[in-house]
Structure 1
């Protein structure tokens, strides 16, 4: 799975536009803060169109994911932030040993594909 940065797609301050290898556009961001003895990472991803507008679920909510992670190694802060961003993009991570279910839950790729499933079931085709 791969991605490319897109400079030509407008996004919110602090976000970067990314085009996934399936053509989907997403806006990603990662912030860091301190909480006691740990650095808290919050990575977000939201599905967008070519104008930077949020894509919505059938219920009218943005298609988005969030990952929150704490780490106690400040020297690895950039490596951890990269893994957080890779995780929300649905790209294999390199350092943090998150489980497969967690990675699937925070993946914007997964959120986009789930929201592509039609809300109505065609019973004649399914049965």
Structure 2
């Protein structure tokens, strides 16, 4: 049996110091066209100051889905939040963080695991 499989796996990591943000929306991780997004994890290293909720979105071209990967994630305590959404991008995209209000402190790490669009032919 022969089949085509994705063989290049990436883990993109963005550590964000929230007091340095200029607005309540932050573009955290860029994704190539055809990426197969397997998981997204947000780790709260330091609880946020001012902002208490976070939406994980996806921006592709002019289209923007504010809550594509998660909504109202709690930022008031140290924790890990994992998205269960698995999707792909036909065009290049950006994983966004949108806070309920502009944070004045705190720190988060965003990890995005995805496969590139390249494939190889395997035989079993």
- TM-score by length of structure 2 reads 0.30
Q: Which has the higher contact order (CA 8 A, sep 6+)?
A: 2
More strand by share: 2
More helix by share: 1
- TM-score by length of structure 1 reads 0.30
